Structure 1
Amino acid sequence: MNYTSMANNSTVVYPMCSTKITTGIYLDKANDQVFQSIFLPSFIFTLFMFLIGGPGNALVFYIYFSKWRKTTARIFILALAGFDLMNCFFTMPMELTVLHNIITFDHNPVCKIFRYITFMMNHGSSVVLAAIAIDRYIRICYPLRPQLRPHHAKKVVILALILSVTFAWPALFIYGSQTVPIPIPGKTHMCIIGKTCLYEDKFIQTSYPLIFSLSLLVGNVIIDLAMIILYSMIGYQVIQRGTSVNPTPLKYRKGSTSTLSTDDNCLGDKRTEEQERLARNSPENVQNENNEKQVYSVSEKNTHKLTKQSSASIRRDMFRQRSLSISSIEARKSQMYKTTLMLFMVTIVFMGSFVPYCVIVIIRALDKSYYNELSTAGKAVYNLFLRNYMLSSSLNPIIYCFLSIQFRQQCKDLFKRIKKALH
């Protein structure tokens, strides 16, 4: 028997069904056939995303939390990893359960919470990614202006949580158990009544699902356009500096040094702010700073009162100091660009994964007969793309691994320690 024609239908129960089967072998067989013919590819995709994203994001969270020093970039990455972990360890297992029981899942409160948390985590990631784009833009295009610091980043993460809770709340009302009527071939007055986790029955014929879907799409498009503009200006600035004939003025470089040393030089061993303060105030650093000030003072004022060195020796010291400073700045600038590229790729994956989901949901809301008119293969592809939003949560650790040498090294060191402990 073919039970797939009405699977995942967005209509109420047909009145001609005088005999309605809600439990038993007919329902189980229908569920198995619908699952294998339509939802098996989605199940395999979701399982694959879970197997990659769960361990991957746990690894990201551990390494950035325990091995990296406190910086703005670190806090943003930890926030993204936290949202992705919630998706991987709650949303994806729930999605697997719903898919496997596609017309036998009749748990209204669980469905509402499941859909609500899914939207909340994705909204939170979207806000954090927007904040990352703003931070990168200020840091690269306006390095002499006040920068976002770790305490600012923490406030942004809290704001992201508040906004995600605020904008995801309609999912608690719109989603729920939806009735799925499936006629039995050859038995006109008999049909199977299944339940699935989708729009609740009372909202199917209303405009609320469409309004909610449109608000999601509009919000994401606005944020995506803003991020595209910011990263375009960042890219333009990087290209301009790379092709500039004149070297960057030392005054500008010194401003950049301050910025980079406090944030984008985060890809190294973890150091607390107190340790950095003590290091800056150590006798060696104080003496070095005094020596540097002495050299520059001699150069500018051209006086022999502060030192007995010859003018030639002073010029050599000045050249050496400037060479070391420029070399250090260039290294930090390179690290900043690499970090920006990594976060830009995370943003691109997020945009590429969530917008298609919004488009498909809007099509479903605008044309309620669209899904039923698809072939079995078309329904399988439709449901596969409907879960495309999971890509972002699972691929972020892979992006970090490919684009961050330090992250790869920390992973290798961790695996070596685990291997050594097991032996």
Structure 2
Amino acid sequence: MMLLCCPGNLLVFYIYFDRWRKTTSRVFIIALALFDLVNGFVTTPTELAFMWNIFRWKDAPICKFSRFLTFMMNNASSFTLLGIAIDRYMRICRPLNPSMTTKSAKIWVFVSCFAAVLFAWPALVIYGIQTIPYPIPKTPYVAVGKTCLIEDYFNKTKYPLVFTIVVLSGNLIIDTVLITLYTLIAIQVIKRGSFDRDRDSSVRKKLRKASTSTTTTEDGVLEDPKSNNEVKGSSMLERFSKKFHGSIKESESSKKDEKQKPPQSPSRRRSNFRRQRSLSIQSEEARRVRMIKTTVMLFLVTLLFMVSFIPYCVIVIYRYVNPTYYFTLSTTGKGVYQFFLRSYLLSMSLNPVIYSFMSEQFREECKYGLKKLMFWKKK
């Protein structure tokens, strides 16, 4: 998971930070990539160290900080995914209402980090070194081990159980809200069919007027990289400049032709108007197609995050019911147990895979970045 997470999320951060326009989705994806990078570079190596010294760990401060950081990053990801779902819901189900801006998205991420700390700080107190009696197989003897878990002092109190109930209940509430919002989004998309072709002209004019605002068109350019003057050698930039200069020349020549041409007949004017209206509707539908694709991609990221937490939650609940269950497992069973106890780390490594599969432009930017890196190495 580290081998996938670290380079994958570094690539995601570079592309969305340096090559993408400023949109709400960009803000949220960069935040998720940063949270995953912290898990990849800090949490995962520490977890490997814990498992390598599973009954020989004696460093309480590292244990406390690692558990706190893990809960904080996962809580921050949960709140960020909630912000993504609200943003998607407003854009698709409430297109005429004001949508979330990049500034409000940044505020949401900041508040998510604050709320994550608020719910994670008890881990700094209750986690630490726990003394575990480990029965030696086929002997009457019992070994004493030290591991990173609930501290001995708090192990006999109700605080760990209260903390676990709060964390699991919070995840359940957020998951319920996420499922509800994406269900409403799916219902709305199904109702629209082929993107509002049968909608009456008055509503279509309102939608077209709303689509020209910054909040609605922000999402439409998510699939396009940032056309920055500082980024040179990009084939997409060259194509854009050619089209741009070509359109200017065409518009200038068309103005000269219009002065020379005689006035058009009413039927010809109606035909031109219908053609322009058809092109406007097509561009509007293209923007909505991109919005739906982005929503599906972010929904898959959310779904992966929720599913990856299920094994962890089941094991934690069962561990409170039957504390000695782990010692009854075989060596293979203990390995499987340890892996699924950390199943929440799956999302950090698979998010870049989802971006690469769902976004063609993301793949193109990855190829461009790799070619640029190879050229720099040769130079």
Moved more, 141-150 or 248-257: 248-257
Does the alignment pair 1:212 with 2:167?
A: no
Kept in 2, the 8 Å contact 1:210–1:366? The answer is no
Query: Which residue of the partner structure matches residue 303 of structure 2?
Result: 348
Aligned partner of residue 193 in structure 2, secondary structure: helix
1:415 pairs with 2:357: no
Shift of 1:195: 1.5
- Tell me how far 1:370 sits from its aligned partner: 2.9
For the structure 1 residues 256 and 138, does the alpha-carbon distance in structure 2 shift closer, same or farther, using more than 3 Å as the test?
A: same
Unaligned runs of 5+ in 1: 1-48, 273-283, 292-306
- 1:333 equivalenced with 2:288 (yes/no): yes
Structure 1 distance, partners of 2:326, 2:205, is: 62
CA RMSD of aligned residues (A): 2.5
User: Is the Cα–Cα contact under 8 Å of residues 12 and 33 in structure 2 kept in the other structure?
Assistant: yes
Runs of 4+ in 1 over 4 A off after TM superposition: 183-188
Whether the 8 Å contact between 2:225 and 2:361 is mirrored in structure 1 is no
Q: Is the 1:260–1:332 contact (alpha carbons within 8 Å) kept by the matching residues of 2?
A: no
Identity within the alignment, %: 50
Larger radius of gyration: 1
CA distance in 1, matches of 2:361, 2:8: 16
Deviation at 1:184, TM superposition (A): 5.1
1:88-144 superposed Cα distances (whole Å, 9 cap, x missing partner): 010001111111111222100110000000000000000000110011011001111
Shift of 1:256: 5.1
Q: Would you say 1:265 and 2:207 are equivalent positions?
A: no
Contact 1:214–1:362 under 8 Å retained in 2: no
With 202-211 and 138-147 compared, the bigger mean Cα shift is at 202-211
Change (3 A) 1:187 1:354: closer
Question: Which residue pairs with 2:52 in the alignment?
Answer: 100
Greater Cα shift, 310-319 or 70-79: 310-319
Question: What is the TM-score when the length of structure 1 is the normalising length?
Answer: 0.77
For 1:198, what is the secondary structure of its paired residue?
strand
Determine the C-alpha separation between the residues in 2 that align with 1:104 and 1:78. 37
Asked if 1:251 corresponds to 2:202, the answer is no
Give the equivalent residue in structure 2 for 1:126: 78
AA at the equivalent of 1:346: V
What are structure 2's unaligned runs of at least 5 residues? 229-246, 255-261
Larger mean CA deviation between 107-116 and 176-185 belongs to 176-185
Report the CA distance shift for 1:186/1:92 in structure 2 as closer, same or farther (over 3 A). Answer: closer
Q: Which range moved further: 49-58 or 371-380?
A: 371-380
Structure 2: how far apart are the matches of 1:255 and 1:372? 65
TM-score if structure 2 supplies the norm length?
A: 0.85
Question: 1: CA distance between counterparts of 2:334 and 2:371?
Answer: 46
The equivalent position to 1:73 in structure 2, one of 25, 44, 65, is 25
Q: Secondary structure at the match of 1:372?
A: helix
Report if the CA contact (8 A) 1:260-1:333 is conserved: no
Q: Which residue of the partner structure matches residue 187 of structure 2? A: 236
Distance 1:173 1:228 in 2: 33
Structure 1 residues 418 and 369 mapped into 2: Cα distance closer, same or farther (>3 Å)?
A: same
Query: Which one is further off, 262-271 or 402-411?
Result: 262-271
